[in-house]
Structure 1
Amino acid sequence: MTGAATRGAKPVAKKKGIDWSLRELRREDGDALLAFARDIPLHDLMFLERDIRNPKVVDAWLDQCERGLIRSTLAFSGDRVVGSSALVRDELSWSPHVGEIRILIAPDARGSGLGRALAQDSMDIAQQTGIERLIVRMTPDQTSALSLFEDMGFRPEALLRNQVRDARGVTNDIVILALDVNRLRSAHEVYGLPDNFPGD
């Protein structure tokens, strides 16, 4: 992966019959991002704090990216968005050292390695921007995502029961996983491993 300061188009990867390439989110991607969000099953959006199918929410997302509050990467297959990641950090909060990773993958692009590529991209940015702790949220039935992040060193830390409610009024639990970036780096130093995250 390239560094955060030089992020742009990444090489095209082809797995599971799907070509995709990664690049940083831009203002002109708003319509493609909305179309992508509306193709994601509603249940898979439940871990997000806002409904990204709403144009106002996407506009706010783009604004926050321009202000540097969110670092987002999109995966494109042709002109179509098939995946997105966001690294969210609030430097004015009580937790400026904490970043949250949010990843969405189009149903037909799952199993292609795209989720790992987007997770790795966010983790690389976290290292370069001094984030000390990373968290991810998801519903407990998102087993593939749980396995991916656990493989990358994240560990479950909390289960929030009936935390979110969908449009039908059905409640769902949210599980939170976390990774101590400094502890992982220290462990790598002790064992003489490369100074990067699992999956590099």
Structure 2
Amino acid sequence: MSREYPRTIDCGGVAVELRRFLPADETAVLAFAKALPQHDLLFINRDITHPRVIKAWLAEIAEGTISTIIAVADGKVVGCCAVVSDALSWSPHVGEIRVLVATEMRDRGLGRTLAQEALVEGIGRGLTKLTVQMTIDQRGAIAVFEGLGFRGEALLKEQVKSRDGTLHDIAVLSHDVAQVSAQQSLFGLDNLA
């Protein structure tokens, strides 16, 4: 199971190109990250608004521990999704999905599309369990992932601290690929991704 890139999709009347994150996109991805509300970045382990973190991200893409798809509209990055895994860890079968969408592109289906792209990417990489983390107030994002078969697995109390010092809880949702696939097959919903 894999997708072809680049390809163009319609998001609420806006043409959006989905493509792999390449070194040539470094400046545009950094600008995208810096334009995001700080609250959107809390569930990501690193602060992607720093150029050195973007360089490390690209290095991890080259190493194969992260795969990233960016969404571009009118020459500007408006979203991205990533699947992070580590073949040398105790959990080489697990991948973490991260999805970010520019404020102006919300409520157009881009977040759902990127979540689906990441799910297909993770399954295509042979991962058997996928997780996603977000602050508990991100109800729309939680609903998107639940619609893709993710279920709540953990609540991490006061796990992250925003720049103003406020502590936030993180919800962890997971997707057991074989279990969800079997359930979909049982109900004749095999081709949802």
TM-score under structure 1 length normalisation: 0.92
**What is the distance in 1 between the residues matched to 2:14 and 2:41?**
23
1:18-167 alignment runs, 5 A limit: 18-167=14-163
**What is the distance in 1 between the residues matched to 2:45 and 2:123?**
24
Higher mean alpha-carbon deviation, 17-26 vs 139-148, is at 17-26
**What is the distance in 1 between the residues matched to 2:53 and 2:86?**
17
Higher mean alpha-carbon deviation, 181-190 vs 68-77, is at 181-190
8 Å Cα contact 2:14/2:73 also seen in 1: yes
Counterpart in the other structure of 1:182: 178
RMSD: 1.4
Shift of 1:192: 3.9
**What is the distance in 1 between the residues matched to 2:150 and 2:9?**
27
Counterpart in the other structure of 2:7: 10
Shift of 1:112: 0.8
* Residue identity opposite 1:162 in structure 2: E
Shift of 1:146: 0.6
8 Å Cα contact 2:8/2:15 also seen in 1: no
**What is the distance in 2 between the residues matched to 1:51 and 1:121?**
23
Shift of 1:171: 1.0
Higher mean alpha-carbon deviation, 69-78 vs 119-128, is at 119-128
Shift of 1:60: 0.3
* Residue identity opposite 2:110 in structure 1: L
TM-score under structure 2 length normalisation: 0.95
8 Å Cα contact 2:159/2:169 also seen in 1: yes
Shift of 1:89: 0.6
**What is the distance in 2 between the residues matched to 1:94 and 1:179?**
18
8 Å Cα contact 2:11/2:109 also seen in 1: no
**Deviation by residue 1:14-53 (Cα, 9 ceiling, x = unmatched):** 41x4331211110111000000001100011000001000
Shift of 1:187: 2.1
Shift of 1:193: 3.4
Shift of 1:145: 0.1
Number of aligned residue pairs: 193
Q: Which runs of 5+ in 2 are unaligned?
A: none
Q: Which runs of 5+ in 1 are unaligned?
A: none
**What is the distance in 1 between the residues matched to 2:9 and 2:140?**
23
Identity of aligned residues (%): 41
**What is the distance in 1 between the residues matched to 2:22 and 2:126?**
23
